[in-house]
């Protein structure tokens, strides 16, 4: 299939290009990067030697009629304008937030500007019917990185917890903040230090998480979320807690999570005694998690690790693309993590 990547100069775009170069059926024909148009791809992403002398083009120079599938890896709020130029028969995976939210007021509150609309939400493991819903679509909204880790950590527990009392603290590597130069992201500011940001329940992934969890439960989810900037390039470690509403042993809880993800090739519920760590999932489309019960407060505790550029962005985008074109969802994505 002929593939286009719009917005290939960012971190997610670079990881997407790396993974696509390994895909047996997806052939990248054009890569745009508006401010880097004319530059060699390998000059911006030196690791992408497979692209040889290929260069970025301007967005307006892409001929979408020659493509079968397009990945949009643009800043939030920019996808909708490009989508208008793409023929209806071309399949699209949008890595941005433009089409994730169904609530117009939530979009305006957390992102600002006009709400572009809603596409099917591309988290295949969210429920047993969700992958099928994705397979019937041609346009998919790829989830956010934090939202992916947190929603995966909560989904098997719906029905066992008070969904109005969810508390999350999650740390992410600096690539999650994008590639634009920012003083708070330079090495001298980040290395050897942790800091919260978007403090006090204002992170843009909150309505996305609440929407995802509400879609599989009977009550409207409420999430208190504190993100932390970690001194590492990539990875997310989310600690998710919620009040238990039913008596359940930790053994049965672990079994419930294991059963829920039994057919999910990219989600692993680790054996007791093992805890997820970000280095285990670096460079992969995998999520690893462990569950516990805090008996002192009767709360579920879930620890989840993903690569924010993998399962949190590019890997998940390719997984969704595989699903909507009708091939095995693992195609081009079955590789282990880098580790320590």
Cα atoms in the 13 Å half-sphere on the side-chain side of 38: 1
Burial class (CB in 10 A: 0-12, 13-18, 19+), 314: buried
269: helix, strand or coil: strand
Pairwise CA distance, residues 219 & 142, whole Å: 24
Burial class (CB in 10 A: 0-12, 13-18, 19+), 307: buried
The owner of tokens 């909560």 is 154
Measured CA distances, 163 to 106, 124, 149, 270 (Å): 19, 21, 16, 24
> Which residues are designated catalytic?
145
Pairwise CA distance, residues 207 & 220, whole Å: 11
**162 within 8 A of 218, measured Cβ to Cβ:** no
Pairwise CA distance, residues 54 & 40, whole Å: 6
**214 within 8 A of 238, measured Cβ to Cβ:** no
Angle, helices 145-154/206-216, rounded to nearest 10 degrees: 30
91: phi then psi, degrees, rounded to nearest 5: -75, 145
123: phi then psi, degrees, rounded to nearest 5: -120, 90
Pairwise CA distance, residues 229 & 299, whole Å: 25
Pairwise CA distance, residues 70 & 32, whole Å: 11
């Amino acid at each position: 299939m002929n593939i286009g990547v719009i917005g290939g100069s960012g971190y997610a775009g670079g990881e997407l290009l790396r993974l696509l170069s390994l895909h047996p059926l997806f052939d990248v024909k054009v890569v745009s990067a508006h401010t880097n148009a004319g530059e060699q791809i390998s000059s911006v992403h030196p690791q992408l030697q497979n692209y040889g002398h290929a260069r970025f083009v301007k967005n307006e120079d892409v001929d979408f009629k020659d493509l079968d599938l397009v990945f949009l890896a643009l800043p939030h709020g920019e996808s909708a304008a490009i989508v208008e130029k793409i023929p209806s028969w071309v399949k699209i995976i949008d890595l941005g937030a433009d089409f994730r939210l169904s609530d117009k007021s939530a979009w305006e509150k957390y992102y600002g500007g006009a709400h572009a609309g809603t596409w099917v939400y591309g988290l295949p493991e969210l429920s047993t019917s969700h992958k099928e819903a994705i397979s019937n679509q041609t346009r998919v909204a790829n989830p956010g990185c934090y939202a992916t880790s947190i929603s995966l950590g909560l989904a098997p527990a719906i029905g066992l917890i008070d969904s109005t009392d969810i508390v999350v603290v999650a740390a992410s590597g600096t690539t999650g903040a994008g590639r634009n130069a920012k003083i708070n992201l330079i090495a001298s500011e980040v290395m050897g230090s942790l800091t919260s940001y978007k403090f006090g329940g204002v992170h843009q992934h909150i309505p996305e998480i609440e929407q995802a969890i509400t879609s599989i439960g009977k009550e409207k989810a409420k999430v208190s979320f504190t993100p932390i900037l970690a001194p590492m390039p990539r990875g997310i470690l989310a600690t998710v807690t919620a009040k238990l509403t039913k008596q359940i042993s930790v053994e049965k809880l672990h079994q419930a999570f294991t059963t829920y993800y039994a057919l999910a090739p990219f989600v692993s519920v680790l054996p007791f005694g093992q805890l997820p760590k970000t280095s285990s999932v670096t460079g992969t489309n995998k999520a690893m998690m462990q569950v516990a019960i805090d008996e002192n407060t009767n709360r579920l505790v879930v620890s989840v690790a993903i690569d924010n550029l993998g399962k949190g962005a590019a890997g998940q985008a390719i997984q969704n693309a595989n699903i909507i074109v009708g091939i095995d969802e693992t195609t081009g994505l079955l590789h282990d993590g880098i580790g320590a």
